[in-house]
């Protein structure tokens, strides 16, 4: 089953208007030219429920595509630099300060009303405090992040800690305070809580199916975020990039609509309050649309610096793990949905890590010839100003545009097997979870 069936000229009555090559497509998506990339920017079909959501999605795709391809052109082939503070970030931090001041003000006025005002005033005061609480900035907590993870100590996993320490030293990153594993397809770092604890999460099914050098690359990328101070940057921008979306969700009228529909279907008379809600619907929808546009605007402002930070982390990954390993890692990411489905099947057949790895290697071999097209397709399909990372296809190109790097940290098969052995005790429990959910 090839990933991207090339359309023969019989299937498509036209060729690329730019370079006259045959067009390609996947399933029934918009065709594009894999030679000159004509029409690669076409928006994927959206199944969003409402017209407003569909137009916002189209706008997001266009803005995300333009932003990521422009940023790529700005950075490709230049020496990788950590993201510096930009004008848009200063604007967002200013907005964060304003939001915090507003929330503190709302809380103060709310509490004052609760204590001194009449009954109606007290209710209004409570509402103000409640809204401020919902919109408060979140620092995250280690407990929450680790709630469905298994924390690993150095005594339990000396080989794993040795690799992490070596990679951290190579990229100039501090060690994480906590290393934990999960049953998820992930590798991530977070900085949480008032004490800003650094956490490294390595999802067992993701980590173990990577080739040893790719594991070095993924560690270097993740630890690279500690070098960048990306945690503090995210924290400073968070209120500005989340507040409008949260308010838009709070006033989402779909709840009102669903209730009216239920009552009409059940021949129950809708209450006066519901009917009033219905009358206000156009107003609420307009306000919600405006809030969502603001939400997108703040994300567009933040996306550039977060994508720059990802490219920088990728460059650190290439320095430590080598360029080939980073490209391999990104090609695995491109196959995520296919790999998860197949690993799920293997897990249901009672296969553990060895079986998952075999499936992943087979799948990689199967798609090796369509890698170029899969990378191109990701530039179209993953284009969004909400995406934390640039599209894998652009990340591959950024690595290829830089000078080729040989690995500075080598993880041998023996070392990799020692780490596997340390993590083996989670394998069967995770296998059952994967068998159920993937």
232-259 burial string, b = 16+ CB within 10 Å, else e?
A: ebbbbbbbbbbbbbebbeeeebeebeee
85 binds Zn ion (CB under 5 A): no
- Give the integer Cα–Cα distance in Å for 155 and 157: 6
Place of tokens 């429920």: 49
Segment contacting Zn ion (CB under 5 A): 28-36, 132-140, 142-150, 244-252? 28-36
Contact 222, 313 (CB under 8 A): yes
> How long is the chain?
438
Query: Between 225 and 405, whose beta carbon lies closer to Zn ion?
Result: 225
Query: Between 33 and 145, whose beta carbon lies closer to Zn ion?
Result: 33
Among 18, 252, 262, 436, indicate the residue that binds Zn ion (CB under 5 A).
Answer: 18
Among 2, 14, 19, 139, indicate the residue that binds Zn ion (CB under 5 A).
Answer: 19
- State the Cα angle at 264 between 259 and 265, rounded to 5°: 95
16 binds Zn ion (CB under 5 A): yes
Interface of this chain with Zn ion, residues 277 to 316, rule: CB under 5 A: 310, 313
Among 32, 38, 244, 367, indicate the residue that binds Zn ion (CB under 5 A).
Answer: 38
Q: Name the minimum Å distance from CB 32 to Zn ion.
A: 8
Query: Between 204 and 330, whose beta carbon lies closer to Zn ion?
Result: 330
Q: Is 8 exposed, middle or buried (0-12, 13-18, 19+ CB in 10 A)?
A: exposed
206 binds Zn ion (CB under 5 A): no
Q: Name the minimum Å distance from CB 385 to Zn ion.
A: 17
What percentage of the chain's residues is helix, strand, coil (to nearest 5)? 65, 5, 30
Contact 171, 321 (CB under 8 A): no
The CA distances from residue 131 to 74, 134, 226, 287, in Å, are 41, 5, 33, 17
Q: Name the minimum Å distance from CB 8 to Zn ion.
A: 16
Query: Between 331 and 427, whose beta carbon lies closer to Zn ion?
Result: 331
Query: Between 38 and 430, whose beta carbon lies closer to Zn ion?
Result: 38
Query: Between 159 and 313, whose beta carbon lies closer to Zn ion?
Result: 313
Q: Name the minimum Å distance from CB 388 to Zn ion.
A: 7
Q: Name the minimum Å distance from CB 200 to Zn ion.
A: 12
Residues 6+ apart with CB under 8 A from 306: 83, 230, 234, 388
Q: Name the minimum Å distance from CB 409 to Zn ion.
A: 18
Binding site for Zn ion (CB under 5 A): 16, 18-19, 21, 33, 35-36, 38, 310, 313
């Amino acid at each position: 089953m090839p990933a991207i069936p090339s359309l023969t000229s019989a299937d498509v009555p036209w060729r690329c208007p730019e370079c006259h090559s045959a067009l390609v497509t996947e399933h029934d998506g918009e065709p594009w030219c894999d030679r000159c990339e004509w029409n690669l920017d076409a928006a994927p079909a959206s199944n969003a429920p409402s017209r407003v959501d569909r137009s916002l999605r189209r706008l997001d795709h266009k803005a995300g595509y333009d932003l990521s391809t422009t940023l790529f052109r700005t950075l490709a082939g230049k020496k990788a630099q950590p993201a510096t503070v930009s004008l848009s970030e200063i604007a967002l931090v200013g907005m964060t300060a304003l939001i915090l001041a507003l929330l503190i003000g709302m809380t103060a006025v709310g509490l004052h009303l609760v204590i001194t005002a009449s009954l109606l005033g007290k209710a209004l005061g409570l509402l103000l405090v409640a809204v401020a609480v919902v919109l408060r900035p979140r620092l995250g907590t280690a407990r929450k992040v680790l709630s469905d993870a298994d924390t690993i100590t150095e005594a339990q996993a000396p080989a794993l800690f040795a690799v992490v320490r070596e990679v951290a030293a190579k990229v100039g990153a501090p060690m994480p305070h906590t290393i934990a594993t999960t049953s998820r397809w992930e590798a991530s770092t977070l900085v949480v809580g008032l004490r800003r604890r650094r956490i490294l999460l390595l999802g067992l099914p993701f980590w173990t199916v990577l080739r040893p050098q790719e594991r070095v690359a993924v560690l270097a990328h993740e630890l690279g975020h500690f070098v960048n101070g990306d945690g503090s940057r995210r924290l400073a921008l968070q209120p500005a990039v989340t507040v409008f979306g949260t308010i838009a969700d709070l006033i989402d009228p779909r709840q009102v609509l669903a209730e009216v529909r239920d009552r009409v279907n059940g021949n129950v008379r809708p209450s006066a309050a519901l009917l009033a809600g219905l009358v206000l619907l156009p107003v609420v929808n307009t306000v919600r649309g405006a809030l969502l546009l603001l939400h997108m605007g703040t994300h567009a402002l933040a996306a550039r610096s977060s994508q720059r930070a990802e490219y920088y982390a990728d460059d650190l990954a290439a320095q430590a793990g080598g360029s080939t390993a980073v490209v391999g890692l990104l090609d695995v990411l491109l196959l995520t949905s296919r790999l998860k489905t197949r690993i799920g099947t293997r897990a249901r057949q009672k296969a553990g890590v060895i079986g998952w790895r075999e499936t992943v290697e087979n799948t990689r071999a199967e798609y090796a010839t369509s890698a170029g097209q899969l990378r191109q397709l990701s530039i179209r399909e993953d284009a969004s100003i909400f995406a934390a990372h640039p599209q894998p296809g652009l990340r591959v190109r950024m690595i290829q545009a830089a000078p080729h790097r040989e690995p500075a940290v080598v993880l041998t098969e023996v070392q990799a097997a020692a780490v596997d052995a340390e993590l083996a005790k989670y394998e069967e429990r995770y296998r059952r979870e994967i068998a159920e959910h993937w």
